[in-house]
Structure 1
């Protein structure tokens, strides 16, 4: 196929990649600002030009044909090369500018990152920053995000990982609750207390503790469960029971004495602890806005930790 015939198909190939990755014509249409019928026509034009059936469709599902899988891989590489071309053009600009899409967990965004992000916007007014707040895993490629920030001890392989700070889990209760119900001296004592859990799945009610080589698991029972740290924190402040929080969510209240840490000598297991890590795609051409943002966060967290 000569170049004159190939060029008009580049947009159809891009649409094809989006359809495969979203798994839906309607989702692709919404994302690209097109009508579903327009997306469908683009796929048909591509199939006609290549003289191959790429997608096998029924009213309920869609899947790649054998040839479609091969074409998708090559078209996906084309899209990646296009992104790298844009990155190369944006690299080494004296002025930090351009779009920047960030994804981060809800509680971390609300309680820690937002002041830093707003200050970054003030410092770099030519950067158009979009924040995607979600606790589920975000694919930086498929979800078109430039930087993911998450709390983990296992960074995503294949991505550059920059550690910002560390976060541990802290078990705590209000002084009034402990005065009324006693202070646990051992993890097994937790079974006799009103434990406020996340409630996202049954495993949230099994609290694990370690101290050196000792390991203890306790079935936590309580009158209230909620997967929102600020609401759960309010319940603890009112003396409802004992709960576990990421350090960033509870530290100011520990400092003020509104809550007291329980079982300090034991390590509490669970999600939302580990290294707070910023990750982004590897490339020879990292856009200046990504480098500036990650460097800015590292500097701010370094100031906070001292």
Structure 2
């Protein structure tokens, strides 16, 4: 093997190819994929740049690099994505957890710390939101519901692998799998909220993600309306409902919650200064 196949040169060539393919993070993609192929930590790439790779290592790397060059998300290729500093297993049956969703977790934590009731995450996917909350709130039980049994199983496996026993995951449509009379201090959701004609659906990583977890009818608001309408039956008095939603949906979601009788309705911005999370408090009339 020549120096051409050293860690350093292999990485450089991969970065160039990823740049040409249009990756918006070619250096990071190349490093993560090479570490995965070598089964080594990132520090290995810095410590051993001159190390010559074996044929099998090169072949393994080329196979997964080709998948990324074809546009497949890195998270699906390596089967993992970090969220809230937690390594979560992911699969093509679920959305890939994104940094903006950590804003929902932050706001939920602020409200949850003032309560003692259970928490519900609707459309839990990988379990990212539920597990992040469970990690910070060991005194609370956190429930997660997802329509897809494979997502529910993945979320359960993530929680079990990470050792969070204060979680429970069920499969079914929104509130359907919950026992009658179950009530929560906090209901959170990152539901489908993209309009089906949105051009972003044909771009980037989103092309590989399940449409059922992305797209909603009624200009992307159908699922938010459904959850907001039925949530009062599952909220304790003074409980909070909160949604992640699209950058241009803040006013619409505030209107939905206000029209249904929620109080203290407010929209919070994400790290990019876009409307991202809207909340409302349920106070039943006496």
Give the shorter-chain TM-score range. Answer: under 0.3
Which structure shows the higher strand fraction?
A: 1
Structure number with the bigger relative contact order (C-alpha 8 A, sep ≥ 6) is 1
